[in-house]
Amino acid sequence: MSSDKKRGAERTQKAVRDEDWSDERLIGFLALLPPDDLPADYNCLLRAYRGMTADLFARFVRLYVDRGHDINVTLSNGSTFLDHVARHRKSGDYAQALIDCGAHAHTSLAVQA
């Protein structure tokens, strides 16, 4: 029975990169409810970051800002979403999308992104 168990990359769902995302679908991320300990605007950015390619994320961030959401929302420790993204090795395009829409870093690490 254990020989049938999937491991590592076999367990993960294949990424879909050529899928069309309408603006309505992107806007749907704005309505996602956060856990109790996470600000709603931060949760929107986090879920979009985890679920979108860099190009889709850039579109989403523009819609997010245009609808009055806080691009510089902070956690209780004062860190911004740009701080979170900047910690990831392959996040340059995501960080640039945030910066292009007015995001600022709380830590010096994010400035290097």
pLDDT digits (tens, 9 = 90+) for 47-57: 999 988 999 99
Rounded to whole angstroms, what are the CA distances from 68 to 2, 97, 101?
A: 51, 17, 12
The residue whose two tokens read 């961030």 is: 61
pLDDT value at residue 111: 44
pTM, entire model: 0.73
94 and 87 Cβ atoms separated by less than 8 Å: no
Q: Is the model more confident about 75 or about 31?
A: 75
In this model, does residue 7 exceed pLDDT 70?
no
61 and 19 Cβ atoms separated by less than 8 Å: no
pLDDT value at residue 113: 39
pLDDT > 90 in the chain, percent? 56
- Domain positions in the chain are 21-111
| Amino acid making up residue 71 | I
pLDDT digits (tens, 9 = 90+) for 11-49: 555 555 556 777 777 777 777 777 788 999 999 999 999
pLDDT value at residue 108: 57
Residue 105 buriedness (CB in 10 A; 0-12 / 13-18 / 19+): buried
pLDDT value at residue 22: 76
Q: Is the model more confident about 8 or about 94?
A: 94
